[in-house]
Amino acid sequence: MSIGQPSGAQILWQALEREGVEVVFGYPGGAIMPAYDTLLDSKIRHVLVRHEQGAAHMADGYARASGRVGVAVATSGPGATNLVTGIATAMLDSVPIVCITGQVSSKIIGSDAFQETDITGVTLPITKHNYLVTRASDIARTIREAFHVARSGRPGPVLVDITKDAQQAHADPMWDDKPVSLPGYRPKYRAHAEDVSRAAEMIDRAERPIILSGHGIVRAEASSLLFEFVDKTGIPVASTLLGLGGFPATHPLSLGMMGMHGEAWVNQAIQEADLLVALGMRFDDRVTGKLETYAPNAKKIHCELDPAEINKNVRADVALVGDVKETLEALFPLVTRKNRLKWTDRISKIKGNAAVRDIQHMPHGGRLFAAHVMHDLWRITEGRALVVTDVGQHQMWEAQYYKHDFPRKLITSGGLGTMGFALPAALGARFAQPKDEIWVIAGDGGFQMTACELATIAQEGVKLNIAIINNGYLGMVRQWQEFFYDGRYSATPLRSPDFVKLAEAHGLRGLRVTKREEIEETVGLARASKETVLIDFRVEQEDSVYPMVPAGAALDDMIRRPSAIVETAQDD
Ligand SMILES: Cc1ncc(C[n+]2csc(CCOP(=O)(O)OP(=O)(O)O)c2C)c(N)n1
């Protein structure tokens, strides 16, 4: 070390500033104290979370809302392990985050030192890459690489574990602004021209094609191009959960969500299709149902960034590996302008039959259905809010009834299905989109998993709108028990605190809605308020999400809303 050289801790913040980081979400502790000390001299804003899981979800929400890399910071041992759920959530949804953890000093690694956990070992399968840094002189280079890996190719979480002595030592940072090049890491692919031509011919020949639009469309900022592509080819679009908003839900050729809780007509149309054009989606089991019976008559064109996804679940007739926007750009001039009225008429016919069972068409008879809350929220916010949902029935109702017309306006944990995600992810999104109207939609169960972040919201003085869809149950599990376990409600009835008082205890505002007529005014109060408002929506307790394809069943084997319920509702 020579006098005047910065410490590893100082290099860390400078390296983050050079990556354009403006805010990090974290929690201090022994092994990361040198970094927290030098944080005071940095321009970067630090948000003190109440639990490190919240920090990872905030970084994730920030990344999804902005398209930039989110950053979480934690200490070694329990701090680091508390990040794990958030890292796995980001991994399964391909979200670029960088997690920085303190580690015990390099000399005592492996001695079961106080708060020592092998966090690079723990997170190996749930990170895109991770690093253990033991020298101050490696910090700058490692942070650059970490950001490059997180954001390039198929994005994902990267963890950088830095020993305490590396933070304390002084070194030459060796700044380097050349593009990062890592041996063996080839994140960029481009679809072969012959395959693009074959795909275009298949699209032209198809009589019953469907586009399956996924998260990749949103991530690649390919929404407007998809819009033009659909305009030219006349192909209807079905969306995955994470793809919602990638193509406008109110467009006449938008069919809605596919899969387990997708619209009945979407799943039926997929089963009747002769061509699936999959764009930035990975044929998750919640999307395909039973693979042997999935889209039996359809050829498949799979446009995907990650070659590992090709032929993983569904065999592709043509694979176009590369950025989905670049692939669409190449395809666009080769396809013929068409309308496909016969096919869209056929889909409208299937739809006509399903729509009569739609809960929106039923009188509510004084009762408050979650679906009505979603529908009214969509109407009142004119479909423009950024909605962050938790996991469960409310998540599916939101996907069905809040019509997203814009990309990056729905943030939800799709792959891991992480309860407790919504509140912290929304707080992260708030820092990415300071002007957006943000609504958290959470169940009474999931909300309680990370409700401690209400204190973070209060401390940071930020404005969110929080809707708790309170049905007194772990609703989605209760629904499965009703359908598949003879109605034996094991461990699903749920007693909750008074959410209104909980909000007030945090210095926030709490309101309650028990009837549909109260929605408009209460939502209006929340929207008009400058402070965070939590609304406790007391909804029907034993309503279920329909339609439903039971896990592992064929897409055509849907459980539909029983007509008995239609009649009961109409009797009211
Ligand atoms: C961390 C975590 N634990 C357990 C589950 C399993 N799970 C999925 S949905 C659900 C029930 C959610 O209940 P609630 O938050 O009240 O929402 P609702 O389904 O009633 O809308 C559970 C327990 C999960 N997804 N995540």
Please report the atom of ligand 1 found closest to the CA of residue 475.
Answer: 20
| Residue 53 falls in the annotated catalytic set | no
- Backbone φ and ψ for 200, nearest 5 degrees, come out as -60, -40
The answer to whether 51 and 452 are in contact (CB under 8 A) is: yes
Distances (CA, A) of 170 to 19, 34, 166: 21, 12, 8
Known catalytic membership, residue 114: yes
Q: 85 CA to middle of ligand 1, Å?
A: 14
Tokens describing residue 469: 């869809």
Distance of CA 379 to the CA centre of its chain: 23
* Helix 393-401 / helix 475-484 crossing angle, nearest 10 deg: 100
- Omega before 547 within 30 of 0, i.e. cis: yes
Residue 572: what pLDDT?
A: 36
Q: What is the pLDDT of residue 557?
A: 86
- pLDDT value, residue 564: 42
d(CA 103, CA 472): 42
CA of 476 to the centre of ligand 1 (A): 6
Task: Report the candidate in 241, 188, 185 with the shortest Cα–Cα distance to residue 217.
Answer: 241
How big is the CA angle at 136 (ends 134 and 140), to the nearest 5 degrees? 110
User: For ligand 1, what atom is nearest to the CA of residue 444?
Assistant: 16
Cα-based distances in Å from 390 to 241, 384, 396, 411: 13, 19, 10, 9
- Does 392 contact ligand 1 (Cβ within 6 A)? yes
Distance from CA of residue 207 to its chain's centroid? 33
Cβ 393 under 6 angstroms from ligand 1? yes
The sign of the torsion formed by the CA atoms of 517, 563, 490, 549 equals negative
476 is catalytic: yes
Please report the pLDDT score of residue 473 as a whole number. Answer: 98
Report whether residue 496 contacts ligand 1, using a CB cutoff of 6 Å: no
Total residue count of the chain as it appears in this document: 572
- Decide whether any atom of ligand 1 lies within 6 Å of the 396 Cβ: no
| pLDDT score of 365 | 81
DSSP secondary structure string for all residues of 439-494: EEEEEHHHHHHSTTHHHHHHHHT---EEEEEE-SB-HHHHHHHHHHSTT---S-B-
Contacts of 87 (CB under 8 A, 6+ apart): 56, 97, 99, 123, 126, 127, 157, 159
Q: Which of 22, 33, 115, 463 is catalytic?
A: 115
Angstrom CA distances, 61 to 119, 436, 441, 535, stand at 23, 13, 14, 21
Q: 444: CA distance to ligand 1 center in Å? A: 9
Give the whole-angstrom CA distance, residue 244 versus residue 292: 26
Has 115 been annotated as catalytic? yes
Q: Which atom of ligand 1 is nearest the CA belonging to 448?
A: 15
572 residues of the chain, pLDDT tens digit each: 556 899 999 999 999 999 999 999 999 999 999 999 999 999 999 999 999 999 999 999 999 999 999 999 999 999 999 999 999 999 999 999 999 999 999 999 999 999 999 999 999 999 999 999 999 999 999 999 999 999 999 999 999 999 999 999 999 999 998 999 999 998 999 999 999 999 999 999 999 999 999 999 999 999 999 999 999 999 999 999 999 999 999 999 999 999 999 988 999 999 999 999 999 999 999 999 999 999 999 999 999 999 999 999 999 999 999 999 999 999 999 999 999 999 999 999 988 766 555 666 667 788 899 999 999 999 999 999 999 999 999 999 999 999 999 999 999 999 999 999 999 999 999 999 999 999 999 999 999 999 999 999 999 999 999 999 999 999 999 999 999 999 999 999 999 999 999 999 999 999 999 999 999 999 999 999 999 999 999 999 999 999 899 999 998 888 887 764 444 444 33
**Exposure b/e, 271-296, CB count within 10 A at least 16 = b:** bbbbbbbbbbbbbbebbbbbeeebbe
